[in-house]
Structure 1
Amino acid sequence: MSEQKSLPFVYQFAAGAIAGVSEILVMYPLDVVKTRVQLQVGKGSGGESYNGMIDTFTKIVKNEGFSRLYRGISAPILMEAPKRATKFAANDEWGKFYRKAFGVDKMSQPLSILTGATAGATEAFVVVPFELVKIRLQDRESGSLYKGPLDCAIKIVKNEGVLAMYNGLEATLWRHILWNAGYFGVIFKVRAMLPKADTPTQQTLMDLLAGSIGGTAGTIINTPLDVVKSRIQNTVRVEGVTPKYNWAWPAVGTVFKEEGFGSLYKGFIPKVLRLGPGGGILLVVFTACMDFFRSIQ
């Protein structure tokens, strides 16, 4: 992602972990709101139905308490360190691999997109079990069945089998491939268009802008896959029964056919509000950590 001096994998991993935890602490309530909206089939019914981001946020706080907005955060906290660490470290390592494979010295936008997509696929394998637990805990109906992340994981394995922890892997792969390709590809382009920063403050603001635009682009591209991933992972597997939401692209077709195109972007506002600025926070914190590590080398 950067043409600066490359650092060993352990530094990239540590910087990504710090960036990930910073982002989740600030933006997590929006993720809870996003998941609730995505899990609602159609327009919902009754007083518990959700009608947009503000309505969902208000009803969660009113009916379940403010702390519910942080329900299941321990799973993402545990996930964010390896997840974001893998994202940035894998992006850097795959960048080295592709530059060598294609015989080029510097990154280009197409190479940034390819590198980001491959890093996203790598990241997906790390996050699936954590995402599954998070989705189950965030759901209004299934969340009450579990005492916490560990209890949730134990019950999933007991009732559905060990492999159930990887339900939604294929959808998660697509989600992360598309988001990372958009994120890193757009960051490369925006950075190339911006003037050279004269001060650290200017560089931070430019990184915040580039990361936010990249996060927004990735979110626009991958939201339909995120919607179906949430539904796939919230489906309890029953032996001999084929789930309604099973594979990513057929599930996209099912949602489109039954609920319309707009339903493929359920939860988009809270998602983009989180991952747009969140993408900026990630890039700023990651870059700052890497600069610090370079200064002590």
Structure 2
Amino acid sequence: MPVKLLNKGSIIIILLPKIINGSIAGIVGVSVVFPLDLVKTRLQNQTVGPKGEKQYKSMLDCFKKTYAAEGYFGMYRGSAVNILLITPEKAIKLAANDMFRFYLTLPDGSLPVVRQMAAGGLAGACQIIITTPMELLKIQMQDAGRIAAQAKAEGRQIERITATQLTKKLLRERGIFGLYKGITATAFRDVSFSIVYFPLFAALNNLGSKDSRGPPFWWSFIAGCASGSVSALVVNPMDVVKTRMQTLTKGTGERQYSSILDCVVTTMKHEGPTAFFKGGACRMMVIAPLFGIAQAVYYIGIGEAILGLKP
């Protein structure tokens, strides 16, 4: 929900509980939807073979094969790094949007849609310092099972690597910038997502406001789910590009990309426009509850209660 401040000097005090709320929302949300996010990553990374063959025929097929090959905990491969970094990522995204909305509000108290979009875009830009390495490490862990299964079918074996080992390897070989591979694609995705999501959520959430207390808990949850799913679908093509560019270990016959343009052109040439919506249903199912939970936590005011600021 938007932050209402009396003066700019109080913004840090007001944002602190929002940061706590964002952190809690991120941890809870990731824990709930991570298996779907893993399936989404594997669907986006698989390419069609020369005879039209696919490793996974559908979302359900991917889920079944992953569970059969790797078990229940295999569905949470890469979740540790995601849970660790989602705390600052969500805190930055949600709190920064509130802050920018405050500073962009006109003297008469109104906030035009264009300014709402600007606030969302700036919030999305702020989060990429955390999102890029988080996504890079998460994707390698999530996709490791798919690469291992493909290698096994070909009679090969691939040694699995942990997130810590991968981080050390990237830092040793490429320095700190090794953790920021795909940052441009990540920025395009996150900024465009936030430009769509935050104004849409504000509009839907306001529809549920019946008095000065704001909309009820369940309405904020629904508004967050609806806004998140629509925004996820809109930016799915860039998410596909980002995922493919950040995947360091490729399967047999899979392509490496030198730039965003190369990824877009090559994918369009070999797989057609529908490839940019691979994993779209999964992504919508992941993002909807993730942001529904985030807005619900904001509504409940857990951070305010912890700090003793809740009336």
Is TM-score (shorter-chain normalized) higher than 0.5? yes
Q: Is the 2:120–2:198 contact (alpha carbons within 8 Å) kept by the matching residues of 1?
A: yes
TM-aligned CA deviation for residue 194 of structure 1 = 2.7
Q: Is the 1:146–1:152 contact (alpha carbons within 8 Å) kept by the matching residues of 2?
A: no
Match of 1:232 in 2: 245
Match of 1:205 in 2: 218
Q: Is 1:21 equivalent to 2:27 in the alignment?
A: yes
Q: Is 1:61 equivalent to 2:73 in the alignment?
A: no
Match of 2:271 in 1: 259
C-alpha distance in 1 between matches for 2:192 and 2:148:
29
Q: What percentage of residue pairs aligned between the two structures are identical?
A: 27
Look up the SS of the partner of 1:141 in the other structure: helix
Pair 1:107–1:161, CA change in 2 (3 A): same
C-alpha distance in 1 between matches for 2:220 and 2:258:
38
TM-aligned CA deviation for residue 232 of structure 1 = 0.7
Q: Is the 2:46–2:54 contact (alpha carbons within 8 Å) kept by the matching residues of 1?
A: no
Amino acid at match of 2:191: I
TM-aligned CA deviation for residue 103 of structure 1 = 4.4
Look up the SS of the partner of 2:78 in the other structure: coil
Amino acid at match of 1:253: V
TM-aligned CA deviation for residue 92 of structure 1 = 1.2
Q: Is 1:286 equivalent to 2:298 in the alignment?
A: yes
Match of 1:240 in 2: none
C-alpha distance in 1 between matches for 2:107 and 2:50:
54
Tell me which of 122, 125, 133 is aligned to 1:118: 122
TM-score by length of 1: 0.87
- The C-alpha deviation readout for 1:34-86, integer Å capped at 9, x for no partner, is 00001101269899801111010000001222211100111101111000000
- The C-alpha deviation readout for 1:149-196, integer Å capped at 9, x for no partner, is 111211222344432110000000011011111111110111232341
Pair 1:4–1:96, CA change in 2 (3 A): closer
Residues paired across the two proteins, number: 289
Where does structure 2 lack aligned partners over 5 or more consecutive residues? 6-10, 150-157
- The C-alpha deviation readout for 1:88-137, integer Å capped at 9, x for no partner, is 111111112222xx545233333222111110011112211111111111
Please list, as runs of the form range in 1=range in 2, the aligned pairs for 1:132-171 lying within 5 A after superposition.
Answer: 132-139=136-143, 140-141=146-147, 145-171=159-185
- The C-alpha deviation readout for 1:227-284, integer Å capped at 9, x for no partner, is 11111111369xxxxx842333542233222211110011111111111122211111
